[in-house]
A and B are shown apart, each in its own frame.
Chain A
């Protein structure tokens, strides 16, 4: 079998940067920028909706449940398509073509992973036993203070593996937005493949390695973070 590895170094700049600096950002740079933005926004959204979901007050809880369950029952690809087709109808101001793909991709991924993060946050909050909440309330702390000083700090520590898992999923799922035309890394690989046609194996292996590296690094970082946080509170079983 003939291998054509040369297609990778020949298009390397395109894979990494897209048309930048002669055109809009693309390639791996765009993938990373998108991942970071989505991660930051879905983390915030996840904490907000996670706290709402955890609340005893049904006026907070029900909207959160509605949002989370709706998104959880939908494939991420569908969410991306819906945002792409529905957002211009809902927000008439965004009619410009190119910037619109980027916006709907961001909105879709943030909405999808925000719901996932909210469930992670809720599970983390619930993993803290009720006894501590009762003790804190009994000394006169308000419910908000209890969440802030007792439950959240401990809950966040428990949530780290699941949070990092979600971040890794975000990085991988940025690849899906290529179908609405965002010029991120997966799209550049497909474009080169469609042009060259004789090196699909090489190109897709390369793509897999490129996604693997940041995901694996995040994984290792998570393990180190967990070890460092566990050092403060040793539990003998």
Chain B
């Protein structure tokens, strides 16, 4: 599903990814632990090409990321990403945040997309906040909307980049509980 072959990446002189080789099969749950600055975020961000690598090959869902002909938007539609900083769209409600990609990328009708969105918002436990704006939600609630947003595209791969590190200790549990149900 995800293959890294002899991947090397530098940020200027900093050799942040050194000879990375790994193979992640479908259905696997992988946790990457490590000290600060060890390249964990960089590694995940390479998977949907938010970062580019200088050497090596990355193959995701059979498509090579280094190949110019790869349609990166198609690939990214199959890879859900949850950010440390949530990155919700502040000018849209929670429901609109979740339905934007299904409508614009998968070309779904609005009612269909909203039905799916409500299903996932319920799954993460905030269906009642669907009409709220991100500024009206707590950190834990925002992160759960972000998770629903990632899931709504029904991706083949879900990536979580330190999803709880921007949260208060009380809210971490609610997000972790949601993530456990996804596995």
Within 8 A of B (CB), among A133-152: 134-142, 145, 149-150
Q: Does A153 contact B91, Cβ atoms closer than 8 Å?
A: yes
Which of A15-23, A41-49, A229-237 lies at the binding interface?
Answer: A229-237
Q: Does A137 contact B83, Cβ atoms closer than 8 Å?
A: no
Instruction: Report how far A150 CA is from B92 CA in the complex, Å.
Output: 9
Please give me the residue from chain A that is nearest to B84 by CB atom: A131
Q: Does B83 contact A134, Cβ atoms closer than 8 Å?
A: yes
Q: Does A132 contact B87, Cβ atoms closer than 8 Å?
A: yes
Cross-interface CB contact of B87 among A135, A145, A233, cutoff 8 Å: A135
A154 at the interface (CB under 8 A from B): yes
Which of B1-9, B20-28, B58-66, B99-107 lies at the binding interface?
Answer: B99-107
> With a CB–CB cut-off of 8 A, which chain B residues contact A234?
133, 135-136
**Could you tell me the dominant secondary structure of chain A's interface residues?**
helix
Q: Mark A196-237, 1 if CB is under 8 A from B, else 0.
A: 000000000000000000000000000000000000111110
Please give me the residue from chain B that is nearest to A138 by CB atom: B81
> With a CB–CB cut-off of 8 A, which chain B residues contact A141?
73, 100-101, 104-105
Instruction: Report how far A131 CA is from B149 CA in the complex, Å.
Output: 15
Q: Does B100 contact A235, Cβ atoms closer than 8 Å?
A: no
Please give me the residue from chain A that is nearest to B150 by CB atom: A139
| Distance from A156 Cβ to chain B, minimum over Cβ atoms (Å) | 10
Q: Does B83 contact A139, Cβ atoms closer than 8 Å?
A: no
> With a CB–CB cut-off of 8 A, which chain A residues contact B105?
139-141
> With a CB–CB cut-off of 8 A, which chain B residues contact A149?
100, 104
| Distance from A150 Cβ to chain B, minimum over Cβ atoms (Å) | 6
Cross-interface CB contact of B89 among A132, A137, A142, A235, cutoff 8 Å: A132
| Distance from B149 Cβ to chain A, minimum over Cβ atoms (Å) | 7
Which of A132, A136, A140, A236 is most buried by chain B, counting CB atoms within 10 A of its CB? A140
Q: Mark B133-159, 1 if CB is under 8 A from A, else 0.
A: 101100000000010011001000000
Q: Does A233 contact B50, Cβ atoms closer than 8 Å?
A: no
Q: Does B50 contact A136, Cβ atoms closer than 8 Å?
A: no
| Distance from A231 Cβ to chain B, minimum over Cβ atoms (Å) | 11
User: How many interface residues does A have (CB within 8 Å)?
Assistant: 22
Which of B83, B91, B100 is most buried by chain A, counting CB atoms within 10 A of its CB? B91
| Distance from B80 Cβ to chain A, minimum over Cβ atoms (Å) | 7
> With a CB–CB cut-off of 8 A, which chain B residues contact A131?
83, 85, 87
Q: Does A137 contact B50, Cβ atoms closer than 8 Å?
A: yes
Q: Mark A18-60, 1 if CB is under 8 A from B, else 0.
A: 0000000000000000000000000000000000000000000
Which of A136, A138, A141, A235 is most buried by chain B, counting CB atoms within 10 A of its CB? A138
Within 8 A of A (CB), among B72-127: 73-74, 76-81, 83, 85, 87-91, 100-101, 104-105
Q: Does B77 contact A139, Cβ atoms closer than 8 Å?
A: yes
Instruction: Report how far A150 CA is from B149 CA in the complex, Å.
Output: 15
Cross-interface CB contact of A233 among B77, B80, B83, B90, cutoff 8 Å: B90
Instruction: Report how far A131 CA is from B81 CA in the complex, Å.
Output: 12
Instruction: Report how far A157 CA is from B91 CA in the complex, Å.
Output: 10
> With a CB–CB cut-off of 8 A, which chain A residues contact B91?
153-154, 157, 232-233
| A235-B135 contact, Cβ under 8 Å, with A140-B77, A141-B104 | yes
Q: Which 4 pairs across A and B sit closest by C-beta, in order of nearness?
A: A140-B77, A139-B101, A135-B87, A138-B81
Q: A138-B50, A154-B91, A234-B133 are in contact. List 8 more A-B contacts (CB 8 A).
A: A137-B76, A139-B76, A139-B80, A139-B100, A139-B101, A140-B74, A140-B153, A141-B100
14 interchain pairs, CB-CB under 8 A: A131-B85, A132-B87, A134-B87, A135-B146, A138-B50, A138-B76, A140-B73, A140-B74, A140-B101, A140-B153, A141-B73, A232-B133, A233-B91, A234-B135
